[in-house]
Chains A and B, each alone.
Chain A
Amino acid sequence: AQTVTQSQPEMSVQEAETVTLSCTYDTSESDYYLFWYKQPPSRQMILVIRQEAYKQQNATENRFSVNFQKAAKSFSLKISDSQLGDAAMYFCAYRTMYSGGGADGLTFGKGTHLIIQP
């Protein structure tokens, strides 16, 4: 079974600075997807960014980018120019590319609580 580990329960960053959230995962598969979701105090789960494992290029979405290291099974999220609205729980998630046998659901890490200091 796949596992996702987020080793930082909480991170704090000054507004306008850059912060990196760590995520590692364990899988024996070669084809899969990785995601970062954000959960603000409203508790709505919001997709931040997505990475396909077969793509070597790291995904970027405006101020959000990832450092995907397939061999190391690492998928960190970098937030540049942090804003107060970035304060939230951030969850890393894994999903196999194939269907069936419990593979369709996302496997989530336990989350990192990001605090933005004004």
Chain B
Amino acid sequence: NAGVMQNPRHLVRRRGQEARLRCSPMKGHSHVYWYRQLPEEGLKFMVYLQKENIIDESGMPKERFSAEFPKEGPSILRIQQVVRGDSAAYFCASSPSEGVRTQYFGPGTRLLVL
């Protein structure tokens, strides 16, 4: 049973470019969560999605960031016109829809903005 998959594992972008981060949830999970981890910090919640729906984006920056979880394919976190402050590790987690909905994390994508 494969875990949560994220790609790429490392991404380098120049200021002003776009970054697209992908996340495939665990088999049987229909809920996806994105978090950002700055150096020496804990993870900060960004957005929670179910298939074709954004349920909670209260932690998402208002500009340049967007997320989707289409009916087919992985969830995508998109950052437009990246700035150096976007450099961080971005983690995706997935959970089942029932019970405690414990979140299981992917390996993360390390984004470096030059």
Asked whether, in the complex, the Cβ of B100 is within 8 Å of the Cβ of A102, the reply is no
Chain A contact residues: helix, strand, loop or mixed: loop
A44 to B6, CA, bound (A): 11
Residue numbers in B under 8 Å from A107 (CB-CB): 45
A33 to B103, CA, bound (A): 11
Which of A14-22, A45-53, A71-79 binds B? A45-53
Near B by CB (< 8 A), chain A positions 64-118 give 91, 99-111
Asked whether, in the complex, the Cβ of B42 is within 8 Å of the Cβ of A102, the reply is no
Residue numbers in B under 8 Å from A109 (CB-CB): 42
Q: B residues near A, CB below 8 A?
A: 33, 35, 40-46, 48, 55-56, 58-59, 89, 91, 93, 100, 102-108, 110
Q: A residues near B, CB below 8 A?
A: 4, 33, 35, 37, 42-47, 50, 52, 91, 99-111
